[in-house]
A and B are shown apart, each in its own frame.
Chain A
Amino acid sequence: MKRYNPIPRIVINLLVFFIVLAILVPIVWMYFGGFKTDTILFSSPWAMPQSFSFRNFVVAWNFCIGGNILNSIIYTVIGTAITVLLSSFAAFATVRFSFCLKAQYFVFIISGMMVASQSALIPIYKLLMSIHLYNTRIGLILPYVAYRIPFSFFLLWTYFSVLPIDVEESAYLEGAKIHQIFFKIVFPMSKAALITAIIESSRYIWNDFAFALVFTEDPSLKNIPLGLFALRSTTHTNWTVLLAGLGLSAVPMIVVYLSLQKYFINDVNAGSVKG
């Protein structure tokens, strides 16, 4: 790489540095803001917090996040588990079994990716009303699962379709049952794809706003994004509490991402390893 002219390199490095800074500054400002008092925030947006007290974070936690975090966890964990399990079943069957209309089945599931979930708000609302699942946890989880299946299915299908079959066959000859083969052999072999599917699905469900807004009514069923939105309407002028709440809500995702980014980036690299 030494052949490159150094001047553009320095300029480009500086440019990238400034873009990285522009991404980072609002996030850092948000966390500092959580420690400030409103008077300080109003005096100057650049003022430093006088003390690092967690008062605002406690208020934000008590008001919305504490009550909603459990819901968010329930929706995300159960929704993702069902999504990945059902997608892997369907993807595996599409790869390994032969059945009539297989191509049509494949296209049908994949086409689910083509529908904007917002365009289905009204009919799903009506459907949930009619089966008496409107404003219930399960009623919210069902559409989550449905809208995450197509992508997970596609991802796992791509992975399963290049999986060598010999290991499964020899296990079968040794008397293993199909379900044992699936959970004891195929699953462990597909860890990378499963992790990607889990991350993608969790990210969507954890951050969802629209479905939760429309399909639930009770404050006790709210997830974190809805809680933040409520916090905004009640803390009209209490900006620092809102900033603390936003910062708090972002912590789990940022921590999970930063601790998994090694795999994530490796995953990006893994995508380039083609046979």
Chain B
Amino acid sequence: MTTIYKDKKILLFFTIPAFAFVALFIFYPSIMNFYYSLFRWASYSKKMKFVGLSNIRKLFADAVVWKAFANNVLYAVYSLVFQVCGGLVLAHVINLYLSERFARFSRVILFIPAVVSITAIGLLWMIIYSPSVGFLNPLLRLVGLGMIATDWLGNKETAMRAVIMVSQWQYLGEMVMLFTVGLQNVPKEIYDSSRVDGANGIQTFFHITIPMIKENILMNVTITIIGAFMVFDEVYVMTSGGPGRATEVLATLLYKTGFRMDKMGYASAISVLLFVITFLLSIIQLRTFNVKFKEGKEK
């Protein structure tokens, strides 16, 4: 360690502001959530009635909360299948079977939706799904799938999956990009020599790609699951949780409970639940980070 950096004043000046921001707006609120969930209160009155753990108890007996939770789980499952598995296969084939030019072009195009705001993408798909002006139903009729055409977002049966598919469409390219980062580290010669040894394409995928970028895959799996529990914008913009409660997720439920119905205490309890789920998942993710970290050091 060198000694040119030992001025205490500069050290404090460098470290305190970032610390203050994170402490005040990330950790203090997380702790306050637990505290606020112990009361019955509304945003525009000073009164806070202590109710202990009754909000939390109510939470576990509330069918709507479980419905929202189940929708988040559904979100995670679909995202793992389409974004992670789909993105991995796609990144793999783009890497191996496409010409350099077409590979570059397709990666660039695939990523475009990821830079547009979720709000704009959500509203765009709301129009695409619309039975009166959207192009999805006419397209389905064109290819002979007219019987499944429906009012996608207005139909309780299809609304949640329709919203989920928008996210898949938007983030597929981002996943491909993240996997491509990992695949850059795999020397092309390994693939070539496995061809010489007579491995077919599927074997190559399972025996080289997957083991070679294991950490990368794990990382993206956890990011995706966490993301699925954080979902808010796309649901709120497209359906606001409706029709009925068909597309309710934890974040929209807590927003509506708190800022529309003004049941702040109960909404805080939902926030606590959301916080605990994402925090636990993130710890797993950090572990993955550590694995990468150690491996990097050994190299």
Name B residues whose Cβ lies closer than 8 Å to a Cβ of A.
1-2, 4-7, 10-11, 13-15, 17-19, 21-30, 32-33, 36, 43, 90, 93-94, 96-98, 102, 104-113, 115-120, 123-128, 130, 132-135, 138, 169, 172-173, 177, 180-181, 184-185, 192, 195-196, 201, 226, 229-230, 232-233, 236-237, 251, 254-255, 258-259, 264, 267-268, 271-272, 274-275, 278-279, 282-283, 285-286, 296, 299
Residues A242 and B108 in contact, CB atoms below 8 Å apart = no
Residues B26 and A19 in contact, CB atoms below 8 Å apart = no
Residues of A within 8 A of B192 (CB): 3
Residues A20 and B230 in contact, CB atoms below 8 Å apart = no
How many angstroms between the C-alpha atoms of A120 and B258 in the bound complex?
12
Within 8 A of B (CB), among A221-251: 224-226, 228-229, 232, 239, 242-243, 246, 249-250
Within 8 A of B (CB), among A111-131: 111-127, 129
- Min CB distance B269 to A, Å, is 10
Can you sample 22 A-B contacts with CB below 8 Å?
A12-B93, A19-B110, A23-B109, A42-B132, A89-B18, A110-B286, A114-B278, A118-B251, A120-B30, A126-B36, A143-B25, A145-B21, A146-B24, A179-B10, A209-B237, A213-B236, A225-B120, A228-B117, A229-B119, A254-B112, A265-B108, A268-B181
- Specify the chain A residue showing the minimal Cβ separation from B249: A118
| Majority DSSP secondary structure for residues of B touching A | helix
How many angstroms between the C-alpha atoms of A44 and B113 in the bound complex?
25
Q: Which of A108, A213, A224, A229 contacts B19 (CB under 8 A)?
A: A108
Residues A122 and B258 in contact, CB atoms below 8 Å apart = yes
Within 8 A of B (CB), among A16-36: 16-17, 19-20, 22-24, 26-27, 29-30, 33
Report if A51 contacts B (CB, 8 A): no
- Tell which of B18, B110, B232 has the most Cβ of chain A within 10 Å: B18
Residues of A within 8 A of B271 (CB): 118-123
Interface size class of chain A, counting residues whose CB lies under 8 Å from the partner chain: 35 or more
Residues of A within 8 A of B5 (CB): 96-97, 178
Known pairs A123-B32, A254-B116; A146 contacts B93 (CB<8 A)? no
Residues of B within 8 A of A93 (CB): 11, 14-15
